[in-house]
Structure 1
């Protein structure tokens, strides 16, 4: 486990999956991240790579060959190497190996960089294609789960998400872990989405047209919350396990397969093509208050 801290916040990161596992304010001793209770969902903030979501029959095809990958890929279950470490910054790295090449036929270097600044932590994804000739195809995304406290009389329904640029959410429905073409709309009064457990009984809200680049998680009874900032992620997911007291805010470069997808990875919606020796960078940030 890796520990970072400054005068405002402290955090812990597991080398397995390079997963952020706590985010605490020194001022109020609040842990803003979900506690990983396995009765509901035993993760905290997994890294989604080299796919986001599920594949149809957990299978894809590339250059005439068949491959299998589990939902959200393999990075979240791999041990990352710590390449740089200071009091307020950590760089963790995962590279292709013989095992990964059997299920994902691309060379890669995946780096996660965590940095603390005042009351905020940023997570930067750096994907490098070390191949001199071959492009790599991939998706990547975040899955951080933020706690909704039930202390002091708080209930899940006391919480809401505030969107900085949206007045409605058009979301695609999920059917058998795949993205359906059917959509539904949630109107946002003053940009707010009130939370209730039933929102997620049919899986995540999958958003393809989100305008906001900052979502605030807040409640009606105290002053504690987070600002979640992100840019250049074309898709977004909002999810919670059934009746669990958290909400995941998930910026994605990529999606689960659509129900009509032909399973060829080069045709997958949102797939990123990274040329030889190129680097891809995306970042999200959480500011605590």
Structure 2
């Protein structure tokens, strides 16, 4: 376990999956991250790479071959190495192995930088193409935040507040975790989504056209909450396990397959590509209060 600390924050991280384990604000006395109770969902903040969501039949085609990848890819279950560490910053690294090449035939390095300043945790993803051919990939965040956050409040006391008024549909997921064909009208001229556990009885809320670049988790019953900034991420998932005391706010560069996918990696919706020796970066920040 690795720890980052300053006067306001204590962040715990695991080398497995380069996953955040705790976001503790010393001034508020609150841990903002889900506990990882395996009775509901045993993770805290997995990194989704090299795919986001599910593939149709857990497979894709590339260069006239079929490969198999499970939901959200393999990075979240692998051991990362540490490239650098200070009291307030750490950089994790993951590279291809013989096992990953069997299901993802690319040479890459995934670096994840975590840094804290005052009451903010900054997360940066850096994907480096170490191959001679184009690297195709997706990457996403999956942080789970504790709800209710404060004793004496309930799940239904909290809302997700968007920094823009939204008029957008949600995309439903099939039992196979694929995007259904027709979106469903959902957010209509509002900047709030009141939380209730039944919201997630049909799996995640998936959005393709949010205008917002930040979401607050807050309640009028407490002065405490958090803000997640995710500028530049084109897709968003909001999810919780059934009847669990958390909500995931998930900015994505990539999205689960639709029922109509061709299965070809280069044609996958939301797929990113970088050329030989190129680098892709994306970042998000969580501010606790």
**What is the CA–CA distance in structure 2 between the aligned matches of 1:207 and 1:187, rounded to whole Å?**
10
TM-score normalised to the size of structure 1? 0.97
Taking structure 2 as the reference length, the TM-score comes to 0.97
Deviation at 1:231, TM superposition (A): 1.4
Question: 2:173 is paired with a residue of what secondary structure?
Answer: strand
- In structure 2, the partner of 1:185 is 185
Return the alpha-carbon distance in structure 2 between the equivalents of residues 66 and 187 of structure 1: 38
Query: Aligned ranges for residues 13-92 of structure 1 at < 5 Å?
Result: 13-92=13-92
Q: Work out the number of aligned pairs and report it.
A: 288
CA contact under 8 A between 1:169 and 1:187: conserved in structure 2? yes
1:92-125 deviation line (CA, Å, top 9, x unaligned): 0000111110000011000000000110001100
Structure 2 matches for 1:134-173, cutoff 5 A?
134-149=133-148, 152-173=151-172
How far has the Cα of 1:150 moved from its partner?
A: 6.5
1:188 Cα offset (Å) = 5.3
CA distance in structure 1 between the aligned counterparts of 2:182 and 2:219, rounded to whole angstroms: 31
1:115/1:122 contact within 8 Å kept: yes
- Give unpaired runs (5+ residues) of structure 2: none
| Cα drift, residue 167 of structure 1 | 2.7
Q: Distance in 2 between matches of 1:59 and 1:138?
A: 14
Distance 1:49 1:268 in 2: 14
List, as ranges, runs of 4+ consecutive aligned residues in structure 1 with deviation greater than 6 Å: none
Q: CA deviation at 1:262?
A: 1.3
Query: How many angstroms does 1:263 deviate by?
Result: 0.9
8 Å Cα contact 2:165-2:189 kept in structure 1: no
Separation in 1 of the partners of 2:122 and 2:279? 19
CA distance in 2, matches of 1:167, 1:281: 27
Q: Secondary structure at the match of 2:223?
A: coil
What does residue 226 of structure 2 align with? Answer: 226
SS in 1 for 2:102: helix
The residue that corresponds to 1:246 in the other structure is 246
How far apart in 1 are the matches of 2:244 and 2:156? 12
For 1:100, what is the secondary structure of its paired residue? helix
Counterpart in 2 of 1:119? 119
Aligned-pair distance for 1:154?
1.0
CA deviations 1:47-104 (Å, max 9, x no partner) are 0000000011111111111111010000000000011000000000000111110000
Structure 1 residue runs without a partner (length 5+): none
